[in-house]
Chains A and B, each alone.
Chain A
Amino acid sequence: EDQVTQSPEALRLQEGESSSLNCSYTVSGLRGLFWYRQDPGKGPEFLFTLYSAGEEKEKERLKATLTKKESFLHITAPKPEDSATYLCAVGGGSNYKLTFGKGTLLTVNP
């Protein structure tokens, strides 16, 4: 059974204070690892898909990396508008089911 564990559960940063979120996973035949951002009262917003170990993707202040066991979402010089819950999910095998972690609630204070 696929499993995803995210840490920390909550992270509070000062504006400009860089940090990383962790996503550890076990999956049978990784099809892709996905990062989403979720604001309160909204559906998850797609950020990145990573397919193989060593792959990196960037978008504005966010950078996602992938190893065989975990993924990191690095946040560089965050701003208050980066405050949200960040979700990690894995897809495995030949179906399109995604297994999600519980998320990391990021708060960036001005």
Chain B
Amino acid sequence: SAVISQKPSRDICQRGTSLTIQCQVDSQVTMMFWYRQQPGQSLTLIATANQGSEATYESGFVIDKFPISRPNLTFSTLTVSNMSPEDSSIYLCSVEILAGGTDTQYFGPGTRLTVL
């Protein structure tokens, strides 16, 4: 398994501002992901954070709105830019662990974002 921490755990922001969320893992991992969980909705993948190259974004998500950094194999950041109330959500990072022929995604505790 993996121990994943996120900072901040929650924040309240004004519209038009940006927030950067950090994700730290206790071991080196190849695959890191960022998800969004809107109220009453399922988790939706925003992008795959690739170490040493640009993130791979899912349909409906763009780099200008959600820039991602992955400077090494244990750390990543997600920035939510030019925020609006519709960005109010829980943002989660996850990592893929391959062990013993099985693969599992483990999730961080999430960052609860409220945009006023």
Of all chain A residues, the one with the shortest Cβ separation from B10 is A41
Given A96-B33, A101-B42, residue A43 in contact with residue B107 (CB < 8 A): yes
Question: A44–B4 Cα gap in the complex (Å)?
Answer: 12
Is the Cβ of A87 less than 8 Å from the Cβ of B104?
A: no
Given A96-B103, A96-B105, A97-B58, residue A41 in contact with residue B112 (CB < 8 A): yes
Given A46-B105, A96-B31, A98-B105, residue A87 in contact with residue B43 (CB < 8 A): yes
Is the Cβ of A32 less than 8 Å from the Cβ of B103?
A: yes
Give B53 Cβ to nearest chain A Cβ, in Å: 15
Question: A7–B104 Cα gap in the complex (Å)?
Answer: 23
Is the Cβ of B102 less than 8 Å from the Cβ of A42?
A: no
Is the Cβ of A103 less than 8 Å from the Cβ of B42?
A: yes
Interface residue? A49 (CB, 8 A): yes
Give A72 Cβ to nearest chain B Cβ, in Å: 19
Contact of B106 among A31, A41, A46 (CB under 8 A): A46
Chain A contacts of B108 at CB under 8 A?
Answer: 43
Give the number of residues in B that approach A within 8 Å (Cβ atoms). Answer: 24
Of all chain A residues, the one with the shortest Cβ separation from B59 is A1
Is the Cβ of A98 less than 8 Å from the Cβ of B42?
A: no
Question: A96–B48 Cα gap in the complex (Å)?
Answer: 9
Question: A6–B58 Cα gap in the complex (Å)?
Answer: 23
Contact of B43 among A31, A44, A49 (CB under 8 A): A44
Chain A contacts of B13 at CB under 8 A?
Answer: none
Chain A contacts of B105 at CB under 8 A?
Answer: 34, 46, 96, 98
Given A42-B109, A43-B110, residue A97 in contact with residue B104 (CB < 8 A): no
Given A34-B105, A46-B104, residue A100 in contact with residue B58 (CB < 8 A): no
9 contacts between A and B (CB under 8 A): A32-B103, A36-B107, A42-B109, A44-B107, A45-B107, A51-B102, A95-B48, A96-B105, A100-B43
Q: Chain A residues in contact with chain B, CB under 8 A?
A: 4, 31-32, 34, 36, 41-46, 49, 51, 87, 89, 91, 95-98, 100-103
